[in-house]
């Protein structure tokens, strides 16, 4: 797997923290498929940098700083995932890609994507174009609606 970022670790600790009580090296090691010994090192580093409270053998909790990062990362993740799913990408793939993109994408881009998801979700009746896109994706044809007439008009992508 790809090299993990601080955001990855913190986000994961956040998720685990909201399930179980305490987060231990073993949980994290399993989730990230790395060695528990490596998680100890990661805990030390995250602790030094103020993202978690860590004392030997006791399991860790996020600090305020850590929680802030975790929440913003998770929000980015959800937005990206929703965004990809709006375009028709399946849930699992959307999740995988969101997980990678969330760490690298520019905040300006993120803002646009967030607004886009809002736009689609808030104005459901203004999104016939999405059905058109999906139809185009499947068939290569563009569905043109004649307004005031429920019949559909198929226009091949070739003839435009």
Q: Which residues bind a copy of itself (CB under 8 A)?
A: 2-3, 84, 87-90, 93-94, 96-97, 100-101, 104-106, 108-109, 112-113, 115-116, 118-119, 122-123, 126-127, 129, 132-133, 136-137, 142, 144, 147-148, 157, 160
Q: Which is nearer to DNA, 33 or 125 (CB)?
A: 33
Place of tokens 């090299």: 3
Per CB under 7 A, does 157 bind DNA?
A: no
DSSP string, 95-158: HHHHHHHTTT--HHHHHHHHHHHHHHHH-GGG-HHHHHHHHHHHHSEEEEE-TT---EEEEEST
Sign of CA dihedral 83, 88, 91, 95: negative
Q: How far is C-alpha 2 from the chain's CA centre?
A: 16
Residues composing the chain: 160
Least distance CB 96 / a copy of itself (angstroms): 6
Per CB under 7 A, does 10 bind DNA?
A: no
Per CB under 7 A, does 25 bind DNA?
A: yes
Per CB under 7 A, does 26 bind DNA?
A: yes
Per CB under 7 A, does 38 bind DNA?
A: yes
């Amino acid at each position: 797997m790809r090299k993990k970022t601080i955001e990855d670790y913190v986000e994961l600790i956040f998720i685990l923290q909201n399930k179980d009580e305490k987060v231990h090296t073993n949980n994290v090691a399993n989730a990230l498929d790395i060695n528990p010994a490596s998680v100890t090192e990661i805990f030390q580093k995250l602790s030094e940098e103020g993202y978690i409270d860590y004392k030997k053998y006791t399991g860790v909790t996020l600090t305020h700083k850590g929680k802030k990062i975790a929440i913003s990362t998770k929000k980015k993740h959800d937005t990206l995932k929703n965004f990809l799913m709006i375009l028709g990408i399946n849930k699992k793939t959307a999740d995988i890609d969101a997980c990678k993109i969330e760490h690298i994408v520019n905040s300006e881009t993120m803002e646009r994507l967030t607004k886009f998801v809002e736009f689609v979700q808030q104005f459901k009746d203004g999104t016939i174009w999405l059905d058109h896109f999906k139809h185009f994706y499947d068939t290569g044809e563009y569905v043109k609606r004649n307004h005031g007439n429920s019949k559909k008009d198929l226009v091949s992508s070739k003839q435009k």
